[in-house]
Amino acid sequence: MSDPKGPIIVWFRRDLRLRDNPALYWACKSDHPVLPIYVWSPEEEAPWEPGGASKWWLHHSLAALKKDLQEDNLDLVIAKGPSLETLKRVVKETRAVGLFWNRLYDPATLARDTEVKTHFKDQGLNVRSFNGSLLYEPWEIETKEGNPYQVFTPFWKAVRMDLDPAEPLPKPRKGMAEGFEHPSIDIDDLELLPKIDWAGGIQEAWEPGEDGARKEFDKFQESRLEDYPEGRDFPAKQATSRMSPYLHFGEISPRTIWSKLLEEAPSDVLSKRGNSTGEFLRELAWREFAHHLLYHFPQTPENNLREKFKDFPWREDEAQLKQWQKGQTGYPIVDAGMRELWTTGYMHNRVRMIVASFLVKDLRIHWIEGARWFWDTLVDADLANNTLGWQWTAGCGADAAPYFRIFNPMKQGEKFDPGGEYVRKWVPEIASLPDAHLQAPWEASSQVLKEAGVELGEDYPEPMVDHSEEREKALEAFQKIK
């Protein structure tokens, strides 16, 4: 039985912030005390339980959220175990009157949340869920025929022309809600941090939490946004937003970003290509597109959207996969990206496309192997974005890259890292090579290699495959299923 004076439980998941948090805002607007809770139940997200880098981020994000809530007279209860059973126990012990949360849209959590909502509604609890992570619900945008979009350009047109996102909600006023005390375990008890401390580079590169998100976004808006349309393709430049992990963990909402960037922008900013604000908001809409696709095609994290790709002759080669994972392919721009990922939990988006193309087209190793590696090593690992990105590169997904688009790693390096700054940072063993040979060391003369102190096969690997030969093999394989 609930108590008329019982609390409203706010179930935090991937919405680890106070500002523009609908579940928290409306709970605090009620006349009831508020009990925030986080339940660690990774098995419920199988087969895509959070990876190692994500768990590191989650630990620090929960610590930041707990601190922020305490400043507002609320405390975050930490629990672990099956979500439904844990929430049943807490509802019973507190005699709660309500359960609020912000929605998730990936298949496993969607099914779990439906079960939780059905159970507690049947028990007479006030159960409310909200959109806290997207500009629009995935079902709100559809074609004229009432179908989901599978091509981004018309999807973007619908977003920018036909709909208007809700204004972000303010942070609940300090002291607005009475907190409700309940026993909690420590965040350390969740054992999210690695037992062997491999996260030093990630720690240096990031500040998880809502404050970290706001600082990073302010830096982007003040000093990097202007250069975004041109600079975002050059990995040595600081021109990207670095918002992806903060968006994934809900430390900043897309509505907040959308609203802040449009405050001072001209009215036609979304319809003209080339302006910095419009280009970045277009990328924010790409994130929406990813979630739109995942919601409507929940099979895609494991299966090709384009069914004909089931006949593609993927190769299985554990040794080559490990070379790719370790950044030992012999192709400098590829290796730089894979080492940046391992060290910082992040990889520049242009380089993500290069390394993904190399895996699925040069090596013809199944895209799902790349998706799994990114899932475990990226701090911004997001099921919707990860699935869309890998299927786009492989050519088997929505709005996919054409089969004949096979990135040449040498030309990509020359074009987007022309001064070699990115490669030299992450592949220091070849840093002394002149620019002319940095992206293809095997083409340098023995004298040039000797002067640079590089012995191929010893200091740095020979290319693991011949790109031109593998390109022809890939084209032949793709033609068979075209």
Catalytic residues: 283, 286, 314, 349, 367, 390
**C-alpha–C-alpha distance, residues 263 and 94, integer Å:** 43
Contacts of residues 387-393 at CB distance under 8 Å and 24 or more positions apart, as own/partner, are: 387/290, 387/293, 387/294, 387/300, 387/301, 388/289, 388/290, 388/293, 388/294, 389/290, 389/352, 389/353, 389/356, 390/356, 390/360, 391/300, 391/304, 391/305, 391/367, 393/353, 393/356, 393/357, 393/360, 393/367
Identify which of 400, 396, 398 has the alpha carbon closest to the alpha carbon of residue 304. Answer: 396
**C-alpha–C-alpha distance, residues 147 and 183, integer Å:** 47
Burial of residue 63, with CB atoms counted within 10 A of its CB: 0-12 exposed, 13-18 middle, 19 or more buried:
middle
Residue 478 CB contacts under 8 Å (≥ 6 apart), including other chains: 312, 395, 403, 404
**In angstroms, how far is the first alpha carbon of the chain from the final one?**
61
**C-alpha–C-alpha distance, residues 141 and 150, integer Å:** 12
Residue 397 CB contacts under 8 Å (≥ 6 apart), including other chains: 293, 300, 304, 305, 306, 387, 388, 390, 391
**433-to-236, 261, 451, 466 alpha-carbon distances in Å:** 17, 42, 8, 21
**355-to-66, 238, 383, 417 alpha-carbon distances in Å:** 37, 20, 19, 14
Is the CB of residue 159 less than 8 Å from the CB of residue 7?
Answer: no
